Amino acid sequence: MCAAIILDGTAIQPPSVVLQINRPSPDQGHRTTEPKIIFLYKAAIELQSKATEDEYVDYETFKRIKKGNGKALEALIDAHLKKAWFISFQLTEHVCRGAPLLIKAWKASLEQIISAQTAPKEDFREILHSNLLKLYLIGVEDDPEFESLPVPQVAKKYQQFVAETELLPNDLKPAYLMNVYGNLSTARLAQILGIPTESVADSVKQAAENITKASGALRRDKQAAKIQLSAEFRNPSDSGFEDIVIPAYLNTALIHEINHLLNKPVIQNRKEQNAMTTKTNNIRAKGSTKAVSKRSNKKAKIIVISAVVLAVVILGLIFIPKLVGRNTGKNTSITTYNVETITTGNVDTTISGSGTLSPVSKETLATAKAGTVTAVNYEVGDKVEEGAVIAVIKEENGSETDFTAPYDCILIELPISTEDELAANSQIAMVMGTDGFTMGIAVDELDISTVKVGQEVDFTIDAVDGSYTGRVTAVSYNGSSSGGTTAYQITAQVDYVEGVYPGMSASAEIVIESSGEGLLVPVDAVRTSGDQNYVYLAPSGAAEGTEYEEDQLDVSNLTKVTVETGMSDGSYILIESDELAEGDLIVITKITSTQTGSDSESQGGFGGMSGFPGGGGMDFGDFDFENFDPNNMPPNGEGGFPGGMGGN
């Protein structure tokens, strides 16, 4: 007898009358039937098999991420940010915890890839979602900076599945989320949680049964419709999450942290910059067709601590109480005060784009008449001075022709060898000048008026280290429209770079607004009361880096200084005040949360659901779909379709 399968919180039992769908037989004129639910199960298996394809970070992507390639990092954001934001919020149930959890997990995932010697076997999604769970188990502090963010919302037709998830108790919900929506298998969950796979499977079953009880019985046709909608929502392409809107502030904060991780400091002190033309490039912020990012400068010492390493050390200490007991504690806030120094720097607004490089000068040398190659004086890649003889051809009439470099150049193609017989119009060589490269960049219609010929452009070339300064050489006034927006092509030129060849990928950034140098403070140092902004001066005798507990410092006794605020990159903000100067010490308030009063009132643990197309998967064993006969179903609703826990 087949066991019933639990799917999306609904226990599917075989009906005495199976809903049929009619479709033409491929070899007969009459119509045949197939059980709709079985048909949907087949579709689910197909979806799950697709979900397992290409589940690794390919070598080219691996290399690009290690080099901090902007396009590769943007592709990860495009592909995975919406679902990760949804999962982060559902895990923490608050944007003030969900946003920092997401950012920390993203950084930890990039660190994991960058520090690896070979390309990981998992895809980025599995790495990211694994780190989300690990860091959630450790605990995430509230960050009031994100308090105004809207919660992630899926399309209305999928909200029933979100509501079912939100009803789960705290000891079942995380792994259910990571299995069903995070695509982590029960085996992977067991590895993270440090418990047997069987224990995870038991928790999976419990979560599914809880949802079944909460949703109640459904008519067979509604069951089938729900299964179909669920398969659509959980499609491996993540199309069910495409309606989620990523808040601009969250996007900016994530990119800011990625830049820090890649040793691309968003803040540097302009007084310490040297006269080199190389500059630091930020990855392009997404969220609109105009690619706008913020870049600031400040003197700062950046210490990056891997959250993944921390998770490995204390995961066992933190997780066990959560696993064996249901969390019934209350959240309490802890306030601390840190002393930091006011610095100077500036904030720039930039637009950026990417493309491929083309040489400013390129020429093909070819024969006018047939002949024989009598000399080849250079090899591909050689630098050739203007007028130097690259090759000599002896024509049929006995005369010789020298093929010389038209200008100082690099030999990029040389398809001939000595004694080759060549026909008329045969290629001798292709050369490119050493006068630089150009690249076309699409600029949004809202920004094109800020770009002028001669404007400075910062280039980052994927194949070589460092950044290079170029100039805008042309601005097109002929726009191209797509999706309701119009973009205009500009051309930027950079000097020749050793080791760079035509067709290589590059990113470019143009500063369109600069704040000028001013006082910089962390964003959370600025407080607001009515229409006034202010900061607190540190108490007398305090040193930079001092931390006070809440009962050690009474802020009402501190000196309050009113400030005017300016541009911000999301982490630091420019301020103006006649009462403040570089080096002054200020107090920053940090609010964190903790849980108290938890007990272990029930045995259980985290689990996930065996539905599709999550990492747990549906295991139909050796069930023969091709020869399945609905007329042989067990009578009176006994038995069911084969099922069980998968993903081991």
Confidence class for position 332, pLDDT limits 50, 70, 90 = low
More confident residue, 27 or 301: 27
435 pLDDT higher than 90: yes
What pLDDT, on the 0 to 100 scale, is given for residue 411? 95
What pLDDT, on the 0 to 100 scale, is given for residue 221? 59
- Measured CA to CA, the distance from residue 343 to residue 269 in angstroms comes to 8
Share of the chain above pLDDT 70, in %: 69
What pLDDT, on the 0 to 100 scale, is given for residue 405? 95
Confidence class for position 481, pLDDT limits 50, 70, 90 = confident
- In the chain, the N- to C-terminal Cα span, in Å, equals 24
pLDDT tens sequence across 232-277: 787 767 888 989 999 988 988 898 888 877 754 333 333 332 222 3
- Mean pLDDT, residues 618-635 taken together: 43
What dihedral do alpha carbons 64, 70, 75, 76 form, nearest 10°? 70
Confidence class for position 219, pLDDT limits 50, 70, 90 = low
Confidence class for position 62, pLDDT limits 50, 70, 90 = confident
Structure tokens, 258: 């990625």
Confidence class for position 333, pLDDT limits 50, 70, 90 = low
441 pLDDT higher than 80: yes
Those residues whose C-beta lies under 8 Å from the C-beta of residue 37, and which sit 6 or more positions away, are 12, 18, 19, 220, 223, 224, 227, 641
Confidence class for position 223, pLDDT limits 50, 70, 90 = low
For the chain, the average pLDDT equals: 73
CA count, 13 A, side-chain hemisphere, 337 = 20
What pLDDT, on the 0 to 100 scale, is given for residue 281? 32
475: left (phi over 0), alpha (psi -120 to 50) or beta: beta
More confident residue, 375 or 196: 375
3-class SS shares of the chain: helix, strand, coil, % to 5: 30, 25, 40
Q: Count Cβ neighbours within 10 Å for each residue of 408-422 and write b for 16 or more, e otherwise.
A: bbbbbebebeeeeeb
Asked if residues 392 and 404 have their Cβ atoms less than 8 Å apart, the reply is no
What pLDDT, on the 0 to 100 scale, is given for residue 592? 59
DSSP 8-state assignment for residue 417: -
My answer on whether omega of the bond before 613 falls inside 30° of 0, hence cis, is yes
- Measured CA to CA, the distance from residue 156 to residue 247 in angstroms comes to 19
- Name, of 282-296, 429-443, 481-495, 568-582, the range with top average pLDDT: 429-443
pTM comes to 0.40
Strand partners, 331: 595
What pLDDT, on the 0 to 100 scale, is given for residue 100? 94
434 pLDDT higher than 60: yes
Structural domains of the chain, with CATH: 332-344+519-595 (2.40.420.20), 350-358+436-514 (2.40.30.170), 361-433 (2.40.50.100)
pLDDT tens sequence across 146-164: 888 899 999 888 888 888 8
More confident residue, 301 or 491: 491
Confidence class for position 373, pLDDT limits 50, 70, 90 = very high
Residue whose tokens read 């070339």: 461
Asked if residues 390 and 384 have their Cβ atoms less than 8 Å apart, the reply is yes
What pLDDT, on the 0 to 100 scale, is given for residue 218? 56
**DSSP character string of 269-305:** -GGG--S-S----PPPP-SSSS-EEEEE---------
What pLDDT, on the 0 to 100 scale, is given for residue 495? 94
User: 307-310 — which CB contacts under 8 Å span 24+ positions?
Assistant: 307/104, 307/105, 307/107, 307/108, 307/131, 307/134, 307/135, 307/138, 308/108, 308/111, 308/112, 308/131, 308/134, 310/138
Relative to beta strand 485-494, strand 480-482 is antiparallel
- Measured CA to CA, the distance from residue 104 to residue 88 in angstroms comes to 11
pLDDT tens sequence across 80-127: 999 999 999 999 999 999 999 999 999 999 988 888 877 787 889 999
- Measured CA to CA, the distance from residue 430 to residue 633 in angstroms comes to 73
